[in-house]
Amino acid sequence: MTESTQDKLVYSPKELEPLLQLSKNTINALLRCGRLRSVRVGRRYLIPREAVQHFLQGE
């Protein structure tokens, strides 16, 4: 069963690159400075769908 990227609850930074049309380095910088909220699981960042929506709305 495959989920489309719009149905996902969380995204990896790599999945956000084409969706936001941002580079890997830019996404990592946004995660580090806290402008893009994420949850850290081990060494992985998981970005909730709501965090992406808030980021795009400028909140």
pLDDT in tens, the chain (59 residues): 455 556 789 999 999 999 999 999 999 999 999 999 999 999 999 999 999 999 999 97
For residue 1, what are its two tokens? 């069963």
Task: Look up the pTM and report it.
Answer: 0.80
N-terminal to C-terminal alpha carbon distance within the chain: 33
Domain layout of the chain by residue ranges: 10-56
Q: What was the pLDDT predicted at 1?
A: 45
Q: How far apart are CA 3 and CA 49, in angstroms?
A: 14
